[in-house]
Structure 1
Amino acid sequence: MKRLYTFIAALFIFLGFAFFLTKNASSTATTSKNKIPTIGILQLMTHPALNEIHQGFVAGLKEYGYTPGKNIKIDFQNAQGDQSNLKTMSTKFVNENVSLMAGIATPAAQALANVAGKKTPVILAGITNPSGSGLVKTDKHPGANITGTSGESPLQKQLALLKKVLPNVKKIGIIYTSSDHGGTYNAEKFAALCKQEGIAYKLYTISGTNDMQQVAQQMVSQVDAVYAPQDNEVAAAMKTLVEVANKSKVPVFAAADTMVKDGGLASYAISQYKLGKVAGEMAAQVLRGRKTSNFPIEYITKGEYVINTKEAKLLGITLPSDVVKKAESKGEVFK
């Protein structure tokens, strides 16, 4: 009888231990299953073009069923143009062990790449010349943990538009930020196209938004048209540039749709929102297990005509009727 009691007691202990292990394993599995991935989004600064990329990125995630606050968490950080903030915020993402990071603007993407090593996936959202900035090995085979979208400006079509609006243009001022990789890249390529076309040009540089008014005043006194490339500091100071240019009746042709909205006369532009949206869709695929190393950079190349009729009226410029029709039917018109 004593042996029977001992056996029964041992059986209860065994069953209790087994129940504890099963419950604990079940709890762990449930926790793992219900764990919500966190995405760290780092934006260089605030201006309309980057803001639209951010909005598009979130929309792209939603296309694949990832909704912030529901089945993903987004940690959004804005460095406000401060390099030290970029480093601090990037490190914060790594310390939080986020599932994926996204960089909006080249300096933000570079900061993320520096801290991510080859571990955490990094998605580029609208980065100019990713391979040239050292972010990926090649566009077709990025080679590590980084991929995303690139917004190469359709420079030839933008110059063609400028010439169509101003057939007698003599000299174009091209303004960009000396420390902005994308701005420098676009400005120099546009200058090369002007040279090929036999159009005189002059390059003007700013180091930041605070320089815009002074440099713009000098520029508009020496040229009869201005080209503002895809450049973060120029985009952030676009209203200042336009205000100065308008006083001298010098039109500003811009690279981005948002820059036309801020007072540029016209552009053949790529949608910044679409750049972000496709990047968000790519991020969703990476979250589902797609490898970044052979996930090609996605180039958004098709643009649309964007015009500012209020600006045209102010400057006394008649925009070509076919350009107006295309902007009205498939592009965008700001009045």
Structure 2
Amino acid sequence: MKKKLFSLLSLVLAGSMVFSGCDAQSEAESKGGSEAQYTIGISQLVEHPALDDARAGFIDGLKELGVEVEIDYQNAAGEIPNTVSIAEKFKKDEVDLIYTIATPAAQSARQVTSDIPILFSAVTDPVEAEIVDDWDQVGANVTGTSDKAPIKSQLKMFKEIDENIKTIGILYNTSEANSEVQIKEVKKLAPNEDLEVIAVGVSNVNEIPQAIDSLLKKVDAVYTPSDNLIASSIELIASKLIDKEIISVSAESAHVESGTLITNGLSYYELGKQTAAMASEILVDKKSPSDIPVGVAENIVNTVNIDTLEKLGLDKGLEIFKDVNKVGK
């Protein structure tokens, strides 16, 4: 009889421990954390400061949100076929979520899987790139954050620095959809600021030195768009701009940190953190990507490179250079 009572008591205690464990897990999840560990595959088109920041912000954002993850980071080294192979690897590995950085990486992931949730960042126009159906009603298994720049306010900066600027030049990658979208927008808005645009396209990094030298002979100032090929050579471009005493306005702060003059732009690090919040919604809250609209940068900051400002001999007292984020020193 004692043996039966002991066995019964053991079963009761075991049962209470199971329910206590469930309650503890529920409590942890209700506080926004999760005891589960998720696997996230990160597909990055190429390594340069802006895209690296988008990755770092995403990883740090997940840590801040208490989401336990194992990261499988893959760099496509600028080769689009590699983004397809990376996406196929993630599909085979059955990762819980794919985070794609730059348009080709997102396009390839969407092409490869319709089941695994996909988030993107550093994509200018995801509708034009056929990654989502609509900015609000994204459809399917893909959503994310856009790095669309506030081009209108950025173009206004040229005249605020020097009212004599008439012609601006743009160097861009002819095979990058994001760049084509930006060039179209700049050409549309520039006449409103009494600016003419000369755009020169390149297809690979080896063409950049000659192209920028040729462009600088024809323009008063330069606008650098959010373009992965241009970003990979931005230090070279910035150096040539300074040598020729050419004012530059950039689409993003990473360009300014590398030597261009100024931007009224986004932080890719913060954009990555913004995307991490979406990942938490999908993984922890079990929200469908199709129910999450595409996000745009929540924080736009004026950033100026002080070294470049001094080398160009510009007036630091100009209103545009006041109350800005300063880099370069």
Normalization by structure 1: what TM-score?
0.85
Is the aligned partner of 1:154 residue 2:155? no
Residue 213 of structure 2 is matched in structure 1 by 217
Within-5 A mapping of 1:267-306: 267-288=263-284, 289-306=286-303
Structure 2, gaps ≥5 residues long? 1-17, 23-33
Q: Are the aligned partners of 2:261 and 2:304 in contact in 1 as well (CA < 8 Å)?
A: yes
Residue of structure 2 equivalent to 1:199:
195
* In structure 2, distance between residues paired with 1:301 and 1:131: 20
**Distance of 2:133 and 2:84 partners within structure 1:** 23
> Counterparts of 1:247-262 in structure 2 under 5 Å?
247-262=243-258
Structure 1 residues 30-65: Cα deviation after superposition (integer angstroms, max 9, x where no partner)? 9xx987321000001011000100011112212321
Task: State the partner residue of 2:44.
Answer: 43
Deviation at 1:126, TM superposition (A): 2.9
The reply to whether residue 309 of structure 1 matches residue 314 of structure 2 is no
Deviation at 1:321, TM superposition (A): 3.4
Counterpart residue type for residue 59 of structure 1: D
Tell me the residue number matched to 1:20.
Answer: none
Q: Are 1:165 and 2:166 counterparts?
A: no
Residue 105 of structure 1: how far off its partner (Å): 0.5
Q: Which residue of 2 aligns with 1:186?
A: 182
Cα drift, residue 72 of structure 1? 1.7
In 1, the alpha carbon distance for the partners of 2:103 and 2:153 equals 24
Moved over 4 A (4+): none
Amino acid at match of 2:291: N
Which AA in structure 2 matches 1:121?
P
State how 1:1-335 maps to structure 2 within 5 Å.
36-66=37-67, 71-117=68-114, 119-288=115-284, 289-327=286-324, 331-335=325-329
- Match for 1:42: what amino acid? S
Give % identity.
31
- Does the C-alpha gap of structure 1 residues 228 and 320 become closer, same or farther in structure 2, counting only changes over 3 Å? farther
The more displaced of 315-324 and 166-175 is 315-324
Given that 1:178 and 1:184 are in contact with CA atoms closer than 8 Å, whether structure 2 keeps it comes out as yes
Residue by residue over 1:115-149, the C-alpha shift from the partner in whole angstroms, topping out at 9 and shown as x without a partner, is 112x1000012321111111111111111111111
Does the Cα contact within 8 Å between 1:154 and 1:301 map onto a contact in 2? no
Q: Quick one: which amino acid aligns to residue 38 of structure 1? A: T
**Distance in 1 separating the partners of 2:326 and 2:270:** 14
* 1:45–1:81 contact (8 Å) kept in structure 2: yes
What TM-score do the two structures reach when normalised by structure 2? 0.86
Deviation at 1:300, TM superposition (A): 1.3
Alpha-carbon distance in structure 1 between the residues aligned to 2:217 and 2:89: 46
The higher radius of gyration belongs to 1
- CA–CA distance in structure 1, aligned partners of residues 246 and 304 of structure 2: 16
Q: Aligned to 2:327, what secondary structure does the other structure show?
A: strand
Q: Distance in 2 between matches of 1:126 and 1:159?
A: 21
In 2, Cα distance between equivalents of 1:316 and 1:197? 24
Flag structure 1 segments of 5+ consecutive residues without an equivalent: 1-25
- The residue identity in structure 2 corresponding to 1:60 is G
8 A contact 1:217–1:245 mirrored in 2: no
CA contact (8 A) 1:306 1:332 kept: yes
Query: Match for 2:78: what amino acid?
Result: G
Counterpart of 2:157, as a letter, is L
CA deviations 1:214-268 (Å, max 9, x no partner) are: 1000000111101101111111111111222222221222111010011101110
- The total of aligned residue pairs comes to 301
Instruction: Please give the root-mean-square deviation of Cα atoms over the aligned residues, in Å.
Output: 2.2
1:112 match: secondary structure: helix
